């Protein structure tokens, strides 16, 4: 019960359809936090998906509610974040778990459009900033809080096939550092997690959709690229890293980037 008595807001706690028996980072984190004693507000732009995650938590005896919010709609996002404090009297943990890429038009340098670049930056970066904006007054007032932003190891990889996704995720790292130092005197910590090649619906199902390749083929290709045991991580690896950063065990940890990538970033450069 490492999060006993704490409340958490998970942005992106729902999950789209998947053809495999895999789970996304947001849902895995919500389930993990609840298992460790947190009361969890599951937030997603698809309310039914957020409700599904919340129901999975309640089925295991945990405490969870669901709320709908689109990270590009500040009114809905503000209402969802603030509702945690109103519902449970505190907001201890904010986990920002949203990211899009090719499905919103991300592309290589010679073909990416201004419209696609702006939309992806709005979702991946500014949506995170807005969620933090509305969580911070509650955390500052209580003198404590942990913000966890899910960036990506692609922020530092060379040769990434698209422009906007890695740019947005590297910008998130810079934002997280500023968030940490600007709120340290108020007891609020901020850290980023950098997942590497993961076996999640966003990573694998999206490639199936856009390439027409089989799950087995895509998984085998991605496994082979990972230094640690030639095997991708999964959402539970990201969730366990978030659990540490959210817990009091990380009370002196702020402003860091934590790779969860099977040693992939160790060979950068």
Tell me the pLDDT tens digit for each residue of 120-136. Answer: 999 999 999 999 999 99
Concerning whether 156 is annotated as a catalytic residue, the answer is no
The whole domain housing 73 covers: 7-198+235-257
119 located within any domain: yes
The pLDDT, as a whole number, for residue 268 is 62
CATH of the domain at 65: 3.40.50.720
Please tell me the predicted confidence (pLDDT) of residue 121.
Answer: 97
In a domain, 57, yes or no: yes
* Domain count for the chain: 1
Does 129 fall in a domain? yes
Q: Does residue 164 lie within any of the structural domains?
A: yes
Integer distance in angstroms from the first to the last C-alpha of the chain? 40
Q: Per DSSP, what are the bridge partners of residue 27?
A: none
What stretches in the chain show pLDDT beneath 70? 268-269
Q: Has residue 140 been placed in a domain?
A: yes
Strand ranges inside 184-255, DSSP E: 188-195
Contact 145, 93 (CB under 8 A): yes
Residue of 88, 117, 156, 165 marked catalytic: 165
Residue 227 lies in a domain: no
Which pLDDT tens digit goes with each residue over 207-233?
787 788 888 898 999 999 999 999 999
Residues 241/245/92/175 CA torsion (nearest 10 deg): -100
Domain for residue 222, yes or no? Answer: no
d(CA 149, CA 172): 8
Residue 225: inside a domain: no
pLDDT of residue 71: 97
Beta-bridge partners for 7: 39
Tell me what pLDDT residue 17 has.
75
pLDDT of residue 195: 97
Element (H, E) at 148: strand 145-150
Tokens 């038009």, residue located:
105
| CA distance to 105, 163, 228, per residue, from 132 (Å) | 26, 25, 34
The reported pLDDT for the residue numbered 163 is 95
Residues with Cβ within 8 Å of 79's Cβ and at least 6 positions away in sequence, in order, are: 67, 69
Q: Strand 7-11 vs strand 63-68: parallel, antiparallel, or unpaired?
A: unpaired
**pTM of the predicted model, to two decimals?**
0.95
């Amino acid at each position: 019960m490492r999060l006993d008595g704490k409340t958490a807001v998970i942005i992106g706690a729902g999950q789209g359809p998947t053809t495999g028996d895999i789970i996304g980072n947001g849902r895995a984190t919500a389930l993990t936090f609840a298992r460790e004693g947190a009361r969890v507000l599951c937030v997603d732009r698809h309310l039914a998906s957020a409700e599904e995650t919340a129901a999975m938590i309640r089925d295991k005896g945990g405490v969870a509610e669901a709320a709908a919010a689109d990270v590009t709609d500040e009114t809905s996002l503000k209402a969802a974040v603030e509702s945690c404090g109103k519902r449970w009297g505190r907001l201890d943990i904010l986990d920002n778990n949203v990211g899009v890429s090719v499905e919103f038009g991300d592309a290589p340098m010679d073909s990416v459009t201004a419209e696609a670049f702006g939309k992806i930056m709005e979702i991946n970066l500014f949506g995170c900033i807005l969620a933090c904006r509305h969580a911070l007054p509650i955390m500052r007032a209580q003198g404590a809080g942990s913000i966890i932003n899910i960036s990506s190891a692609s922020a530092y990889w060379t040769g990434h096939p698209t422009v906007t996704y890695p740019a947005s995720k590297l910008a998130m790292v810079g934002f997280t550092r500023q968030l940490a130092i600007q709120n340290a005197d108020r007891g609020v910590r901020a850290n980023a997690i950098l997942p590497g090649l993961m076996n999640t619906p966003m990573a694998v199902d999206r490639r199936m959709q856009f390439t027409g390749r089989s799950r087995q083929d895509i998984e085998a290709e991605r496994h082979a690229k990972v230094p640690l045991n030639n095997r991708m991580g999964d959402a539970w690896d990201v969730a366990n890293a978030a659990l540490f950063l959210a817990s009091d065990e990380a009370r002196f940890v702020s402003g860091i980037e934590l790779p969860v990538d099977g040693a992939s970033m160790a060979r950068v450069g």
